[in-house]
Structure 1
Amino acid sequence: TDIALLAGSAIVGLYVARFLRMPAPYLAGPMVASAAVHLLGLTHASPPAIVVAAAQILLGASVGARFAGLTHRDIGRVLRLGGIATLILLGISGVFAVGLNAITGIPFESLVLAFSPGGLTEMSLVALALNIDTAFVATHHIVRITVVVMIVPLLFKIMRARSMID
């Protein structure tokens, strides 16, 4: 019955997330719903390992499909620039994770994944695979995405207004 409750909450979470137009509704909705049923103490079940593995395979395939049609030179350039950006962002994430771990006692691994560059789906699956607090990691990424989606258009309006005045 725990698995049925978890599956049911995932389906309800998906539809609620789509209705609310949440970022990554196919991941965020079920994760938020799962967090809710776990926090309420209704279940302690985890998704079966085969389900997690299948999700990781689908995610990897979808990421790989995005490289179709690129030349080796294009891929090399993207990998080089992406690698540099990733190292810089991971360094910043690490500094914040060390500092917040010392202040709050929140596990370093959870903080690193919460602050690391990467998509909500990817970081959540990594957290799930490593048995790290997935709800904590996903919540940070959802907040980051939501803030960016809300603030960036506002910044563009401000920049556009200033350029028209000057």
Structure 2
Amino acid sequence: MSKLLFFASSFVVGWVMQAIGLPAGWLLGALMTGMIWSFYIEKLIFRSELFTLSLALVGVVIGFMVVPEEVWAYRTLLPAFILTLTLTLVGGIALGKLFGKWTGLSGNTAFFCCLPGGASEVIALSERYQADQRIVAAFHTARITLFVFSVPLIVGLGAQTSAIDLVVPEQALSWDFILVGIAFLLALFVFGLSRFLTFPGAPMFIAIIFGFAVHQWVVPAYSMPSIVMGVAQVLIGSVIGMRFDRKTLHELKRIGKPSMLTLALYILMSLGLAFTFFLLSPLPFYTTLLAIVPAGAAEMASTAATLQMDATVVATLQMLRVLALFLALPFLIRWFAKKPI
């Protein structure tokens, strides 16, 4: 019952934030609700499957927005993407070295704290290498929370956009209900399918394909109602906000000011990488910021969708970043992490 009350509260706060024109209001409203709830009311634990379902919902909506000609044109972005990905990895490793030097933490703990992305995989691996998993989990939770809170706000205010309804053309209310039903059925199907696909970002990637197929060949004349992305953002924001609790804050306080400085440098590094990508590509700066920042594919892609930016390119580049890190992780650990004794 408490979880239902929590999600209802997150939905109402998100709806109000969206209604008053706050950029990514659904996401930020739910994020703040989750943080306040975990600090002052009750700490709730959610199964990872809930986040998987929200990834699938985001993917279905983005699939409805995909333009095949634009996707093919993304191949021209690969050189800039490879460069910025390399710089992201180098920057994360360098920050890890500085973080360890400033805090006196073990080299492995600092290394795993500052790896740019793949939080679940990084946290799970850190314990095998005798890193302090509590600090690694706290740092990644803080990093994701900070990015999810700040980047949509920066993009929304900087790009001078507001919470625009995703349904641009007029369509009958009955079709809205039908499309909402289709979105949730597809998300549930992808959720079941994702159990057999273990590569990073699988639920959202598969959902984009199914959403695209349904939009192209079943309901080509209709757009997905904005409430679907709103629900997905509420789920994402609620879960992330709930993870940032007193325990996380205690671990960060235990580290002290270096943790805040390192997180601030992460933000600056991301802005610099986005500007580099912007100079090397035809994309607008704020689109590149959403696409390059090491936060999360679903969070950044859904923000792009609600702000009427190119959510497809944001989702594509974010998923490629996570996949590339997943593939590079064994080599990074071999080169930079000390073997456990």
Quote how far apart the aligned CAs of 1:49 are.
Answer: 2.2
Deviates more, 1:111-120 or 1:121-130: 111-120
User: What's the TM-score once normalised by structure 2's chain length?
Assistant: 0.39
Q: How far apart are the structure 1 equivalents of 2:266 and 2:320?
A: 21
CA RMSD of aligned residues (A): 3.1
- 1:137-152 alignment, distance < 5 Å: 137-152=314-329
Q: Determine if contact 2:274/2:285 at 8 Å carries over to the other structure.
A: no
The 3 A distance-change label for structure 1 pair 21 and 46 is: farther
User: Is the partner of 2:281 in helix, strand or coil?
Assistant: helix
Quote how far apart the aligned CAs of 1:19 are.
Answer: 1.9
Q: Which runs of 4+ in 1 moved over 6 A?
A: none
The 3 A distance-change label for structure 1 pair 33 and 14 is: farther
Q: Determine if contact 2:290/2:314 at 8 Å carries over to the other structure.
A: yes
Match in the other structure for 1:43? 219
Deviates more, 1:128-137 or 1:69-78: 69-78
Equivalent of 1:86, from 251, 267, 270? 267
Deviations 1:37-69 (A, max 9, x none): 44x454354432222222222222211222212
**Larger relative CO (CA 8 A, sep 6+): 1 or 2?**
2
Match in the other structure for 2:112? none
The 3 A distance-change label for structure 1 pair 80 and 43 is: farther
Residue 63 (1) aligns with residue 240 (2):
yes
Q: Determine if contact 2:270/2:289 at 8 Å carries over to the other structure.
A: no
Equivalent of 1:100, from 265, 281, 286? 281
Deviations 1:2-57 (A, max 9, x none): 7155444433333344322132444443233223444x454354432222222222
Deviates more, 1:87-96 or 1:42-51: 42-51
The 3 A distance-change label for structure 1 pair 64 and 8 is: closer
Query: Given residue 85 of structure 1, which amino acid in structure 2 is its aligned partner?
Result: Y
Structure 2: 5+ residue runs without aligned partners? 1-174
Quote how far apart the aligned CAs of 1:100 are.
Answer: 0.6
User: Is the partner of 1:152 in helix, strand or coil?
Assistant: helix
Match in the other structure for 2:253? 73
Quote how far apart the aligned CAs of 1:99 are.
Answer: 2.1
Percent identity over the alignment is 28
Residue 126 (1) aligns with residue 126 (2):
no
Q: How far apart are the structure 2 equivalents of 1:75 and 1:119?
A: 25
Query: Given residue 323 of structure 2, which amino acid in structure 1 is its aligned partner?
Result: T
Q: Determine if contact 1:23/1:142 at 8 Å carries over to the other structure.
A: yes
The 3 A distance-change label for structure 1 pair 9 and 54 is: closer
The 3 A distance-change label for structure 1 pair 98 and 17 is: farther
The 3 A distance-change label for structure 1 pair 53 and 74 is: farther
The 3 A distance-change label for structure 1 pair 74 and 128 is: farther
Structure 1: 5+ residue runs without aligned partners? none
The 3 A distance-change label for structure 1 pair 131 and 17 is: farther
The 3 A distance-change label for structure 1 pair 82 and 64 is: same
User: What's the TM-score once normalised by structure 1's chain length?
Assistant: 0.72
Query: Given residue 263 of structure 2, which amino acid in structure 1 is its aligned partner?
Result: G
**What is the number of residues matched between the two proteins?**
155
